[in-house]
Amino acid sequence: MPKPFQFNASDVKVEMRETVFQGFFRMDKLWLTHPRFDGRDMPVFSRELFIRGDATCVLPYDPGRDEVVLLEQFRLGALGRNQSPWLLELVAGMNEDGESPEEVAQREGQEEAGLSFSRLDKICDYLVSPGGTTEMIHLYCGQISSAEAGGVFGMEHEHEDILSHVVSADECFAMIADGRINNAAAIIAIQWLQLNRERLRREWQA
């Protein structure tokens, strides 16, 4: 049996590329071809690609109080579904040029929740939806004190309106199980916390 990853980026031939939309986000159209697993070449085909920068997301966790901080805000992409478009999410922000994910985490922690992270543990990097967008998420769990957390935050000039909630870890896990939290970054991070909770409580309080 062949092993995975027999092809790489150099095997893709882009015949033409054009920007078809440039606004808050950008959309490109590409005409391309690549080898097939059966040894033939794929006929030239076209795809639209949503060009979006990388982002950093952080699950704030207080190991002493066993609490997390979740942010509630309006999300246009959830409008029109059988649920509220106000979602419970992580601290998150777009990576600016020259910024490390850790720097983004600290900046967004302050802007969105008034939090400083005394420690950041890397969870993973993942592609959001590689069939149609370039975005990569850098995902972390960050150590905080939740004693004074909570309240309304956000950058008004960026049209942010964010309500910060302090939630027990057990309640957070329950919201994953019953679907009240249904966005990918939060699901991945909270499930990671379920697997690593006791280790974090032991190591972060040492």
| Cα–Cα distance measured from residue 93 to residue 109, given in angstroms and rounded to the nearest whole number | 9
**Six-digit token string for 45:** 């085909």
Residues 160-180, mean pLDDT to the nearest whole number: 95
| Cα–Cα distance measured from residue 60 to residue 74, given in angstroms and rounded to the nearest whole number | 20
Residues 79-83, mean pLDDT to the nearest whole number: 92
pLDDT confidence band for 197 (50 / 70 / 90) = very high
The catalytic residue among 111, 135, 158, 160 is 158
Residues 153-177, mean pLDDT to the nearest whole number: 92
- For residue 184, what pLDDT is reported? 96
> Has 203 been annotated as catalytic?
no
User: In this structure, what are the phi and psi dihedrals at residue 41, rounded to the nearest 5 degrees?
Assistant: -95, 140
Give the tens place of pLDDT for each residue, 94-134.
999 999 999 999 999 999 999 999 999 999 999 999 999 99
pLDDT confidence band for 24 (50 / 70 / 90) = confident
189, pLDDT greater than 90: yes
The pTM for the full model equals 0.93
pLDDT confidence band for 183 (50 / 70 / 90) = very high
Q: Count CB-CB contacts under 10 A for residue 14.
A: 11
Q: In this structure, are residues 25 and 9 in contact, taking their beta carbons and an 8 Å threshold? A: no
Residue recorded with tokens 């509630």: 72
44 Cβ neighbours under 8 A, 6+ residues apart: 15, 31, 32, 33
Phi-psi category of residue 123: left, alpha or beta, with phi > 0 → left and psi -120 to 50 → alpha: alpha
